[in-house]
A and B are shown apart, each in its own frame.
Chain A
Amino acid sequence: GAVVSQHPSRVICKSGTSVKIECRSLDFQATTMFWYRQFPKQSLMLMATSNEGSKATYEQGVEKDKFLINHASLTLSTLTVTSAHPEDSSFYICSAREGGQGRGDTQYFGPGTRLTVL
């Protein structure tokens, strides 16, 4: 089956620093990747959608200058949380979709990254 990995699985950083999270599709090419944030006891909230080679589309209320998304290849997308603050502490999950004719809409989810900002 399609596998999506994330790195790191957990990260602790000081307030004001930047953190980069990687999302990789291991055995398929992902035309579209999604970034979600999940707070305790809540469901996933879509932050942004990125298509390979183009700028990401951010959901309302998500600061594009704070959450930088790069989707430079068909197997890798990165999310950089710039100048992180304690309120950015959350569980970040990416997903990847193959896209293209007949590929359907299935998103394959990564295992998530736990970010803690001190």
Chain B
Amino acid sequence: KNQVEQSPQSLIILEGKNCTLQCNYTVSPFSNLRWYKQDTGRGPVSLTIMTFSENTKSNGRYTATLDADTKQSSLHITASQLSDSASYICVVSEGSGTYKYIFGTGTRLKVLA
């Protein structure tokens, strides 16, 4: 069964600190993996996208990694800001032609001043 699991479920950090979110998937065939940020009451906004051959992708203070062999990905946030408080969702796209998105359960991040 195609699944995407994320950890931790929630996380609280102090402003300025770094953090790393984890994503494990069992989606096959694999097309690509994306990380989204979703503010409360808003739609998801894309942060990064990685294909099978890419190991790392950065977007400002966000850096995503992908290990296609172990089917794991991480999202590292550097020097966190209050505005980083949101849910972060890992999404894997199936490579079967339908390109269906398989959503992770999300990690709720709270950054405190």
A interface residue numbers (CB < 8 A to B): 4, 6, 34, 41-46, 91, 93, 95, 97, 105-107, 109-112, 114
A46 lies within 8 A of B101 (CB): yes
Complex interface: chain B residues within 8 A of A112 (CB): 41-43
Contacts known (A105-B32, A105-B93, A105-B99); A43 close to B105, Cβ less than 8 A: yes
Chain A to chain B contacts (Cβ below 8 Å), 14 pairs: A4-B43, A44-B44, A44-B89, A91-B41, A105-B93, A107-B101, A109-B36, A109-B43, A109-B44, A109-B45, A110-B43, A111-B43, A112-B42, A114-B41
Complex interface: chain B residues within 8 A of A45 (CB): 103
Residue in chain A with minimal CB distance to B45: A109
Q: How far is the CB of B103 from chain A (nearest CB, A)?
A: 5
Q: Is the interface of B mostly helix, strand, loop or mixed?
A: strand
The complex places the Cα of A106 from the Cα of B49 at a distance, in Å, of 9
Whether B31 is near chain A, meaning CB under 8 Å from some CB there, is: yes
B interface residue numbers (CB < 8 A to A): 31-32, 36, 41-46, 49, 89, 93, 99-101, 103-106, 108
B93 lies within 8 A of A43 (CB): no
Residue in chain B with minimal CB distance to A38: B38
The complex places the Cα of A80 from the Cα of B41 at a distance, in Å, of 20
The complex places the Cα of A114 from the Cα of B103 at a distance, in Å, of 20
A93 lies within 8 A of B43 (CB): yes
Q: How far is the CB of B87 from chain A (nearest CB, A)?
A: 8
The complex places the Cα of A6 from the Cα of B43 at a distance, in Å, of 10
The complex places the Cα of A91 from the Cα of B44 at a distance, in Å, of 12
